[in-house]
Structures are given as C-alpha cells and as structure tokens.
Amino acid sequence: MNVCVFAASSSRIDVAYNKVAGDLGTVFAREGVHAIFGGGGIGLMGIFADAIMAGGGTVTGVIPGFMMDEGWGHSGVKDMVITPDMSERKKTIFAMSDAAVALPGGVGTLEELTEVITLKQLGQFNKPIIIVNTNGFYDHLIEFFDHMVRGHFMRLEHKDIWQIVTTAEEVIPAILNYTGWHADPKVIARI
C-alpha cells in the first residue's frame, strides 16, 4: 500500500506534534506501508521520514527542483522525485497514492488536504483521506467544514469524504476499514 502524508515543514512548532509524526513513521514501517511525502528534511516531514527509515520502511520524496536547489530536500531519502513546480508535485503525489493522510501542518499542508478533498468531491480521488487531529489541531478546520455544510456550501454527505483520527495507531485501521464514499460523487458535487 502506498500512502501519501502531508505534514509541517516547520522546525519551530510545539514538540508535542513531533511524537505523532515519529509514531506514524514507525507504524508505516512496521506495517509495510510505503510512504510518499513532500521530500522535506525538517519539521514533521523530516521526523516522519526519519522514523519510517529507522524502522526499515520505505519512503519516496516528491519535491520541486527549486526546493532541492535551496537544500530543503531530505538528505537521507534515496528515492526522490524532482518535479518542475508545486502543482506537478501534488499531481505526482496523488497519482502514486492509495490513500492520503494529513498530519498537523501549515498552509502547504492545508492546501494539499483541501485539494485532495476537492478531488474526491469531484470523483477524481476515490481513496481514503485521513485527518490526524492531534491535540485538537484541526478542530477549527473541522468546525469550518461544518460551517460550510450549514451554509449549504457543501452537502452533508461531503463530510464523509474524510475520516478523523487522533493517533498514529488509528491511521492504518481507518484506511483498511474504508468502504468507499459515494458510488458517483459527481451527481452530488453540484449543490
């Protein structure tokens, strides 16, 4: 199974978030899950990649050339796909993945998460999407999604596009227990 992971690249975040990134890497290595991630060497991305490799697992980084030129790529990741830009990075990551997982992160993580949700809403990514809501990190985003539903910007059914967990140990069971979302998402895409 190939699973993409979106995560913070900041090294200045509260260390409380480091544990879930390391735990997820350990879980992926133990369960034989191949990870695809943004290729960064610091922040939660770096911690996640370090943990999966330390556990004997495999990981592919996907990073734009300009980020590699800046030295932002993870030096320990041997399987690194270089893309021309950010759009191709996401396209490549989504195409390689059987599921998507969002750890806490900044606007880049938010953009990746909302794009994959949009793709699923439109029937273009019919795979599990797992939000890891560590320490309530995503509480406000989840409430905002609820606000969108209440205001009829999304249908109630759209809330079933993603699953929410709080720990790394819950991620693989959430993916494996996924039974699909909607037989034809396009018929309910239009509000």
CB atoms within 10 A of CB 91: 14
Predicted pLDDT at 81? 98
Cα 21 to Cα 113: distance, rounded to the nearest angstrom: 16
Q: At what angle do helices 43-54 and 18-31 cross, to 10 degrees?
A: 30
**What pLDDT score was predicted for residue 183?**
86
- Burial class for 173, CB neighbours closer than 10 Å (0-12, 13-18, 19+): exposed
Nearest to 82 by CA among 60, 59, 64: 64
**pTM of the entire predicted model:** 0.96
Query: So what's the pLDDT on residue 182?
Result: 87
Structure confidence at residue 89 (pLDDT): 97
Amino acid at 144: F
Question: CB neighbours of 159 closer than 8 A, spacing ≥ 6?
Answer: 145, 146, 149
Write out the CATH class of domain 2-189.
alpha beta
pLDDT of residue 76: 97
CA 61 from centroid of its chain's CA atoms? 13
Q: Which pair of tokens denotes residue 56?
A: 């004997």
Q: What's residue 77's pLDDT? A: 97
Distance, in Å, from the CA atom of 80 to the CA atom of 34, rounded to the nearest integer, reads 13
Cβ neighbours of 185 (radius 10 Å): 19
Q: State the pLDDT at residue 149.
A: 96
Length of the chain: 191
3-state secondary structure of 72: coil
Alpha carbons 57 and 50: distance in angstroms, whole number: 10
Tens place of pLDDT per residue across the chain (191 aa): 999 999 999 989 999 899 999 999 999 999 999 999 999 999 999 999 999 999 999 999 999 999 999 999 999 999 999 999 999 999 999 999 999 999 999 999 999 999 999 999 999 999 999 999 999 999 999 999 999 999 999 999 999 999 999 999 999 999 999 999 888 898 888 87
